Structure 1
């Protein structure tokens, strides 16, 4: 069995703990971190467009790319240590949700932690990228709460529909 565990800031511990608890010892586990390209790309564009043509070594986008990669490597190292078993670590860069779905193409299971509203049950408990991944993953998804799930009182009330009388039939 091939298991992909999506590692993100703020929720990676829950995803790793779920993999540790629910995945057999013989599974091949891959820890995935995806660094978004939007912030470094904006910095590259700002430097080129607003500041004119400067020296490449002064481009702040390059520094942001290096910082993101280093952060990803640190998260993956911490995740591997917490997992406590042999695994592969992968860093990808690009549009996060698309990269996760593409990486899940060869997986038998994708482990994802909720990253939205943690105080209420429901669809808002998923951030936009996580919602996309859950909706488009080409494999089964194990979706976990980063902490204890909210109780059932957090469910929204049922919508109120006024009772409509049945249509009148004329003889």
Structure 2
């Protein structure tokens, strides 16, 4: 069995705890982090368009790419330590929702944590990327709350009969 856990800043501990609780012994566990390409790309463009050309060593986009890679590696290392089991760490760059769904094509289970408004039950507890992933994942999805779920008193009122 191959278990894929999407590791994101802020909610990754819940995903790791869910993998620890639900992945069978001997499962092939993959921790996936996706760094966005748009921020370094914008910095590259701003430098080229506004600040001049010909001095690639001063391009802030390159520095942002490096910082993103270091941050992702640290986050994946911390997640692997918390997991406490053998795992593969994978870093991808691009649109998170597309990269996670692409990687989920090879998984038997995808684990991710809610990342939207977590004060209420319902669809808004998922951010746009998570909503896309849940709707398009080609494998079963285990969706977890990063903190205790709100009670059912958070449900909207019933519609009139």
Instruction: Compute the TM-score of the two structures, normalised by the length of structure 2.
Output: 0.97
3-state SS of 2:105 partner: helix
Deviations 1:64-120 (A, max 9, x none): 111111110001000000000100000000111101110111100000000011100
Segments of 5+ residues of structure 2 without an aligned counterpart are none
Query: What pairs up with 1:14-163 in 2 under 5 angstroms?
Result: 14-160=14-160
3-state SS of 1:89 partner: strand
| Aligned equivalents of 1:119, 1:95: Cα separation in 2 | 26
3-state SS of 1:98 partner: helix
Matched positions, count: 161
Bigger drift between 76-85 and 47-56 goes to 47-56
Cα RMSD of the aligned pairs, angstroms, is 0.9
Instruction: Compute the TM-score of the two structures, normalised by the length of structure 1.
Output: 0.92
Segments of 5+ residues of structure 1 without an aligned counterpart are 162-171
3-state SS of 1:53 partner: coil
3-state SS of 2:4 partner: strand
Greater C-alpha Rg:
1
Q: Structure 1 residue 14: deviation in Å?
A: 0.1
Q: Structure 1 residue 26: deviation in Å?
A: 1.3
| Aligned equivalents of 2:9, 2:160: Cα separation in 1 | 39
Moved over 3 A (4+): none
| Aligned equivalents of 1:66, 1:39: Cα separation in 2 | 12
Q: Structure 1 residue 122: deviation in Å?
A: 0.3
| Aligned equivalents of 2:108, 2:22: Cα separation in 1 | 13
Alignment of 1:4 onto 2:4: yes
| Aligned equivalents of 1:138, 1:61: Cα separation in 2 | 34
